[in-house]
Amino acid sequence: MSAHSEETRQFIEAEPTVLEAGAEAAGQRLDQWLAASLGPDMSRSRVQMLIKQGAVTIDGKPVDETKRKMSAGERVSVVMPEPEPAEPQGEAIALDVLYEDDELIVINKPAGLVVHPGAGNWTGTLVNALIHHCGDSLSGIGGVRRPGIVHRLDKETSGVMVVAKTDRAHKALSEAFADHGRTGDLERAYLALVWGIPPRPTGTVDAPLGRAADRVRRAVVPEGRDDARHAVTHFTVQERFGENQQEFATASLVECRLETGRTHQIRVHMAHIGHPVIGDPDYGQAFRTKANRLPEPLKSQVKAFSRQALHAWLLAFRHPTTHLPMRFEAPIPRDMEELVGGFRTLNPPSKT
């Protein structure tokens, strides 16, 4: 098989990205519009190569002219082959280790740490840190000496994570997380500081998730859509801030427990019910001005908080080899604890 036909086979097997040209696209060059539409990680030269390799179609017809002018309403499909994964290297990055044995390691991930190397983050990740920390105790995942990631936390979400060190542990833990604890002992709980106060102390959000229009974020989508994935989040209100007053914006500290584990699930679900996570840059933009309805110094404190106020405080599972139940907790990090403390000032002092 020739190199070109091998590339074509990869394009056929990969899942396409479909974009629809709006009115602003009319008259633009195909390569310019496509590079802008696919986001900052896709260079124009890379787009031009994909077009020349036959990976781009317009309204179902192949196109190989990079300078072709766009028309409004055209549907452009782009198919990219899976990138060859770079072999990550170990890096001396400090870790907060909660537990470690020959099979697995449990850590308290800080906000700001990316879990796995990828576009824009090839170094400085949790995987790089674990390769350095674990060293020869990594017996190999899939024949390669690397840690086995069985679940992830967003870059700016802190909290408990478990990582496999052996193929045996990786398989068992992966199955447990895929089952989401329905038939096993997996338990995951998060604390989220959200805008507003839910009308009921407990609730369930059962709403399928799929790709948002920008193809990067997630959104609640119709159940019958091709990319719709079943997603259920159970929440319990732990504290209410600013209740029974109308002068200032209100907020709540909410515990969220996952019945499924979709990308950005808690963040999308809480925004969907009108209570986005405070500081969320992707799903809480419409609520940014809420900070203006807070007294100082809380208003400045909220505006300076540069991430979503979400923390994975609890992770429980059954050990993959000893089969003993294991439970790990991580306290709320200082920046989020200080923010919660700021919101507590909205509540009148208790009467003695």
Q: What amino acid positions are annotated as catalytic residues?
A: 154
Q: How many helices (H) and strands (E) does the chain have?
A: 8, 16
* DSSP class of 171: H
Q: Which of 315, 350, 346 is nearest to 191 (CA)?
A: 315
CA 20 – CA 295 distance, rounded (Å): 44
User: CA-CA distance, 333 to 133, in Å (whole number)?
Assistant: 22
Structure tokens at 329: 């907790």
- Give the DSSP H or E segment for 255: strand 251-258
Contacts (Cβ under 8 Å, ≥6 apart) of 277: 192, 193, 194, 266, 267, 270, 271, 283, 284, 308, 309, 310
CA distance 4 to 341: 60
Biggest alpha carbon–alpha carbon distance for the chain: 82
C-alpha dihedral (55, 37, 209, 74), degrees to nearest 10 = -70
- As a whole number of angstroms, the distance between CA 134 and CA 127 comes to 10
Distance of CA 187 to the CA centre of its chain: 19
- Bridge-partner residues for 234, per DSSP? 204, 257
Q: Are 270 and 194 in contact (CB under 8 A)?
A: yes
